[in-house]
Amino acid sequence: LALFREAGADAISLPAIAIARPADPEPVRVAAASLGSYDWVVFSSANGVRALLAALAAAGKDARAFGNSRVACIGPETARALASATLRADLVPREHVGEGLAQELLAAIGPGPAKVLIPRAKVARDVVPAALAAAGHTVDVITAYETHPAEQSAARARELLAAGAVDAVLFSSSSTATNFVSFVGKDALAKVTVASIGPVTSKTLEDLGVRVDVTAKAFTMQGLQDALVAYYAKP
């Protein structure tokens, strides 16, 4: 929120997703125990980082368990979550989407077969694991956490929009978009500015029948702030 308040906005945080432990914790426990056996560990969200670090801590391990494994993060915010454990990402793609990560990761791995771990949400895009598998690499995709609609936010969301109390609604992921639209309905967003962190989230919104006014060019919260400021600065 600080980014948007610095730009002069009266920002309201309204969670649309709730993070939960996986229904079956065994895969992430096993992955944490054998982490050093992987050539690459690939994170597509900060929540995935936190979930794997929590599994390591529960097993009495720390960042040293990564051993010689190299680490890729989809974007700078995910890399910052990794840095909290004094780990530096070996790869952060220029484009912070699955397609960009897959392309640069394949180039970094090279022709030799690699063993890759992808700890992620139960529901996620398959762009990266599919690209790696197609190139002949061994890919272990595990559910490190689950996301559920934050139902406690639904009434507040409907209240704010019905009262005309917000000028813009910002979406930071496809899951937040899906859940928020399920809370309020697409028509409730017709009179506000709808802003998205990137093209994947924008497509999700459009598929839900929501008009998207702003899509960040840099797929980060800073990029979203910059895009929104530029939008409102137009004459």
Q: What is the pLDDT of residue 25?
A: 94
- Each residue's pLDDT tens digit, 184-225: 999 999 999 999 999 999 999 999 999 999 999 988 889 999
Residue 21 and residue 146: Cα distance in Å, rounded? 6
Which segment of 6-10, 15-19, 125-129, 168-172 scores lowest on mean pLDDT? 6-10
Closest among 142, 125, 109, 147 to 35, alpha carbons compared: 142
Q: Tokens 């890759």: give the residue.
A: 116
Which segment of 47-51, 96-100, 127-131 scores lowest on mean pLDDT? 96-100
In which order are the strands placed within the sheet that holds 168-171?
168-171, 193-196, 214-215
**How many residues would you count in the chain?**
235
Q: Which sequence spans correspond to the domains of the chain?
A: 2-16+150-233, 19-147
pTM: 0.82
Q: What is the pLDDT of residue 66?
A: 96
Residue 107 and residue 191: Cα distance in Å, rounded? 44
Residue 95, classed as helix, strand or coil, is coil
Average pLDDT, the chain: 94
For residue 140, report the phi and psi dihedrals to the nearest 5 degrees.
-105, 110
Q: Cβ distance 85 to 114 under 8 Å?
A: no
- Each residue's pLDDT tens digit, 95-110: 989 999 999 999 999 9
Q: Which CATH architecture has domain 2-16+150-233?
A: 3-Layer(aba) Sandwich (3.40)
- Each residue's pLDDT tens digit, 16-30: 999 999 999 999 999
Q: Which amino acid is at 27?
A: P
Q: In this model, does residue 181 exceed pLDDT 70? A: yes
Q: What is the pLDDT of residue 219?
A: 87
CATH match for 19-147 among 3.40.50.10090, 3.40.50.2300, 3.40.50.720, 3.20.10.10: 3.40.50.10090
